[in-house]
Amino acid sequence: MFDRQIQKYTQKPLQYVAKLLLKFISPNSMTFIGFSFGVLMCVSIIIDQYLTAIIFLFLNRLSDGLDGVMARLQTPTPLGGYLDIVLDFLIYGGFVLSFGITEQNNTFLSMVLLFCYIGTGSTFLAKAAILPSLTNQKLNEEIPKSFHYAVGLIEGTETILFMFLCLLFPSLFTYLASIFIVLCLITTIFRIIVFYKELN
C-alpha 71/C-alpha 65 separation (Å) is: 10
Q: What is the DSSP letter of 134?
A: H
Please compute, for residue 32, the number of CA atoms within 13 A of its CA located in the half-sphere on the CB side.
6
Rounded to the nearest 5 percent, the helix, strand and coil shares of the chain are 80, 0, 20
pLDDT of residue 8: 62
Closest to 32 measured CA to CA, from 69, 75, 66, 72 = 66
What residue spans of 47-172 are helical by DSSP H?
50-73, 78-102, 107-130, 133-139, 156-168
Give tens-digit pLDDT for 38-90: 999 999 999 999 999 999 999 999 999 899 889 988 888 889 988 998 999 99
Q: Could you give all domains of the chain from N- to C-terminal order, each with its CATH number?
A: 3-199 (1.20.120.1760)
Q: How confident is the model at residue 14 (pLDDT cuts 50, 70, 90)?
A: confident
pLDDT at residue 99 is higher than 80? yes
- How far apart are alpha carbons 133 and 147 in whole angstroms? 5
| Whole-angstrom distance, CA of residue 88 vs CA of residue 3 | 15
CA distance 61 to 45: 16
Q: Which tens digits make up the pLDDT trace of 168-183?
A: 999 999 999 999 999 9
CA distance 65 to 59: 10
Q: For 33-45, write each residue's pLDDT tens digit.
A: 999 999 999 999 9
